[in-house]
Amino acid sequence: MKLIGKHLTVDMYGCSFEALDNLEFIKSAMLTAVKEANMTLLDFSSFKFEPQGLTALALLAESHMSIHTYPELGYAAIDVFTCGAHSRPDKAVAVLKNFLKPERVKTTNIKRGDFGSEKDMKPKVKISVAPLRRIRNTGARVIKLLSRSK
């Protein structure tokens, strides 16, 4: 099966409380990232939590981008999933880094739909016969021991 899309999960640590708790700032960052990364915005939805934090979702023609913020921890969890070759999820992440200015970033790149060869798609089953063999061998030894005592 061919590669369907690119999915970047990004953990940003050490962001400012103010940036992570400002819905208009996050919306501006996301819309800029969408534009710079050559993505097509279909809809934008968000929710501001009390006393702090927010969730924002950009529904894209190519898939989606989401941000969940934890201002009290200085942490943002970001997802950028795109299908097709023309969008640049890595560029979107770079734009978000410029806005949020994290101290540390952890990015995981997932290739969606890429199972490799057909052989890779089959479930891997591991069977261990060693415990069964041990029981059988123990049983044989007990029978041998009992037959000697006669």
In contact, 10 and 118? CB cutoff 8 Å: no
What ranges do the domains of the chain cover? 5-119
pLDDT band at 118 (very low <50, low <70, confident <90, very high): low
Fold of 5-119: S-adenosylmethionine decarboxylase (3.60.90)
Average pLDDT over residues 82-106: 95
- Positions annotated as catalytic residues are 63, 68, 83
Nearest to residue 47, comparing CAs of 66, 63, 19? 66
- Bridge partners, residue 106, by sequence: 11
Nearest to residue 27, comparing CAs of 67, 71, 75, 82? 67
Nearest to residue 30, comparing CAs of 86, 87, 80, 102? 80
Q: Quote the pLDDT of residue 17.
A: 98
Q: What is the pLDDT of residues 61-73, one digit of tens each?
A: 999 999 999 999 9
| Of the listed ranges 41-45, 87-91, 130-134, the one predicted with least confidence | 130-134
User: CA-to-CA distance for 79 and 100, rounded, in angstroms?
Assistant: 15
Task: Say yes or no to pLDDT of 144 above 80.
Answer: no
Which amino acid is it at 39? Answer: M
pLDDT band at 4 (very low <50, low <70, confident <90, very high): confident
Task: Say yes or no to pLDDT of 75 above 70.
Answer: yes
Q: Quote the pLDDT of residue 148.
A: 74
Q: Quote the pLDDT of residue 100.
A: 98
> How does DSSP classify residue 53?
-
In the chain, % helix, strand, coil (3-state, to 5) comes to 35, 35, 30
**150 or 94, which is more confident:** 94
Task: Say yes or no to pLDDT of 51 above 80.
Answer: yes
- pTM for the full predicted model: 0.75
Distances (CA, A) of 55 to 6, 31, 46, 84: 22, 14, 6, 25
